[in-house]
Amino acid sequence: MADAAPEHDAVVLAAMPEELAPLRALLADARPVDGGSFGVDIVTGRLGGSRVALAVTGDGDRNARLRAAAALALAPARVLLAIGVAGALSEDLVPGELVAVTGVLRERGPLLAASRELADAAGHDGARAGIAVTADRIADTVAEKQRLLALAAGYGGSGAVAAAVVDLESAAYAEAAITARIPWLILRAVSDTAAEALPALLNHARDAGGAVRRGRVVAGLLRDPSALPRLLGLRRRVSACAEALARGAARVIALSALNPQLR
């Protein structure tokens, strides 16, 4: 007996609600799905002619790993698309620029290759192909970004990559799709450049699972109020990035629905 067809054409994951909000606003016939004990926030609906499920996993590797698997179990899909912001490692990446992640690597481990068909769909919408490094901690200094860029460059063949970004969740999302045996792509928007440092309090505010705790950020700001302007600027960039990610994700989903190799 053949396996039943997946209920959704695509499941879209993001670490934070604000990264997914503009795409969620585009859904027709939206309805929530009970996340049960997994604590994953899922909503399903229609995006153009496609049936999609959107899920917020929470930030940090542990949350991404557990809730990505839960989302795929609760909302089976033909393809996985993950979206969110990332720090630039390549010097020529600018805030708001989209990177279609064709390969993901942890600081230790092999390079995981994304779906070529989905990457091509993202390229048609102007996203640059690149590599995402999933780091153990937020890359909050220029020196740390340079170290991670050197790691990414080692997978570029010629010692260079077209574009490289850093985040905390991409590897977990890719691994969930590989386990589910479905094509995947990660679309990242640049929130901070390779030449920018982030407030150190962000790493100090992370919990054991890698998530940034907002209460700890507030406590950190009480000790170092000079970090507030940079955090407010970063928040505004995240909002602009989310709009760009929504447009890019909608385009990828629409094009993937027309690709017979992804049906």
Residue 37: per-residue pLDDT = 76
CA distance 196 to 212: 19
Q: Check whether 158 has a pLDDT greater than 50.
A: no
Q: How far is CA 175 from CA 3, 15, 104, 109, in A?
A: 22, 15, 10, 12
CB atoms within 10 A of CB 173: 32
> Over the stretch 163-208, which tens digit does the pLDDT of each residue have?
999 999 999 999 999 999 999 999 999 999 999 999 888 888 888 8
Q: What is the dihedral of CA 112, 113, 118, 121, to 10 degrees?
A: 120
Residue 5: per-residue pLDDT = 56
The CA-based diameter of the chain, rounded to the nearest angstrom, is 63
pTM: 0.91
Amino acid identity, position 137: R
Strand partners of residue 30: none
Q: How far is CA 206 from CA 60, 100, 212, in A?
A: 8, 27, 4
Residue 160: per-residue pLDDT = 53
> Over the stretch 74-108, which tens digit does the pLDDT of each residue have?
999 999 999 999 999 999 999 999 999 999 999 88
**What is the set of domains in the chain, with CATH numbers?**
8-254 (3.40.50.1580)
